[in-house]
Amino acid sequence: MTTTASSSGQVMSLSMNGLTLEYYYRSLPYSRQAEGIHEDGPPYWVAWVEELPGCKTDGATFAEAMANLDAAFDDYIEAKLELGSDIPVPITVRK
C-alpha cells in the first residue's frame, strides 16, 4: 500500500497494488436507487446510493439524475478519503 499525504498531513491518495482507493470504491456494487417525483410543478427524479448516507441528488430526467449521482458518488468518496472517515461497503458485500 502506498500513501501520499499533503503538507497538512491529509491523505490525498492511497493505492494498493497500483489501484487507488477511489477506483476500488467506484468498482464496488453499491445500490443506486432512483424515484420519479410527480408533485406540484414539473416532474423530476431523485437518486441516491442506499449505503452512503447523504449521497443523494436529483435531475430533470432519469438520465440526468443518474449522471448527477455519479458525480455525487465521486465527491462523497473523495471527501471521506480526505477526511479519513469510514466508507460503508455495499450491502451485497456485507456479511
What digits encode the pLDDT tens for the residues 36-58? Answer: 999 888 999 999 999 999 999 99
CA distance 11 to 86: 13
Mean pLDDT across 17-29: 84
Residues 58-68: tens digit of each pLDDT: 999 999 999 99
Angle 50-32-10 from CA coordinates, rounded to 5°: 70
Residues 61-90: tens digit of each pLDDT: 999 999 999 999 999 999 999 999 999 999
Please report, for residues 1, 41, 48, 65, the alpha-carbon distance to residue 20 in angstroms, rounded to integers and kept in the order given. 9, 42, 23, 26
